[in-house]
Amino acid sequence: MKRWLRQHRYALWVAVRRLLAHPFSSVSNILVISLALTVPILAASVLVSAEPIVREIPVSPELTLFLNPAAPEQAANTLGETLRRDYDDEILAVRVVTRAQALARLKSNPSWQAALSVLPDNPLPDAVVVTLRQPEGQELHRLADSLAQQWRTIEHVDTVQLDSEWVRRLEAIMRFTRLCLALLAVGVALVVLATVFNTVRMQALTQREEIGVARLVGATESFVRRPFLYLGALTGFISSAVAVGLALAALYPINTALMKLAASYGTQFALQLPDFLSLLMSAVVVAIMGALSARWSVTRNTRF
């Protein structure tokens, strides 16, 4: 066990020494990989920050039936009871919002108080908000579209609005973004493999004579390859750490601009990096990829 640890400690020390022996080349390779890794980290930050907001959005579409302002006073309650009775299999809940309730909610918002104070009467209509059930064997948005067309013909109904139609589009955008992030990760993996492969290749060719002498005195293949594996793993791990630092530096001005924009809408929003465990696992994966690329390269370029 001590011999095994001593061999790996020696290989790690040789890899560090080779990195320090060519500082310009090492820094260049690390920067190339780091810049490539920074892009998916920032994209992942957008997804991590946006997903909690998306989860809070109700996935069950809501149909809002706005009644004609000239409709009788109890028309909204009657319509709600009728829909609950006739469409019990499709409807999860029915909620009636009267004109007075809608006006009171608007008045509670300081942005609307000045505008509403000059109105002579309440211009808002009564509304019936219907939440649909998840259908079996049928897509939810198709059911919502079908019911909306039927309910537009009901007496006293002025218009029917599908409030959660945009949720479906948002989910499609999130799926598209995840796909783009996966493709981007594949591209970054190729950059890491190519960069480490070329770095180790140059190192192996530079030390060709040294490797030949080591084999003549009895060095095994694993002894020759081990420092190069550590070189690839160190390059990948250091590049990941630098990429996280670059992402943090990039998020500072981005979040400053985002917070100003969100404040103009009366809310707060800022991007944040993925959790530490995810970043650490990503760095380990990049290090493993670097080691595998180094193994491939040194195996191909030290056969002589």
Summarize pLDDT for 51-98 with one digit per residue, the tens: 776 655 555 677 888 888 878 878 888 888 888 888 888 888 888 888
* Residue span of the structural domain in which 204 resides: 2-56+168-301
138: domain CATH number? 3.30.70.3040
For 113-126, how does the pLDDT look when each residue is reduced to its tens digit (9 = 90+)? 666 666 667 777 88
Say which range, 28-37, 149-158, 222-231, has the weakest mean pLDDT.
Answer: 222-231
pLDDT band at residue 100 using 50, 70 and 90 as cut-offs = confident
For residues 31 and 180, membership in a common domain is answered with yes
pLDDT, average across residues 129-154? 76
pLDDT (tens digit per residue) in 226-256: 888 888 888 889 988 999 999 999 999 988 8
The last residue of one of the domains, among 114, 134, 163, is 163
* Average pLDDT rounded to a whole number, residues 35-43: 85
Judgement on whether residues 159 and 196 belong to the same structural domain of the protein: no
Chain centroid to CA 99: 40
Could you give the C-alpha distances from 130 to 81, 87, 167, 273, in angstroms and in order? 11, 10, 16, 38
Phi, psi for residue 245 in degrees, rounded to 5? -65, -40
- Looking at residue 278, its amino acid is S
Does residue 283 share a domain with residue 222?
yes
Integer Cα distance of 94 and 114 in angstroms: 32
Specify the number of domains making up the chain: 2
Structural domain ending residue among the three candidates 101, 128, 163: 163
* Domain stops at, among 144, 163, 182: 163
Q: Model-level pTM?
A: 0.61
CA torsion through residues 22, 28, 33, 34, sign: positive
Do 9 and 35 reside in the same domain of the chain? yes
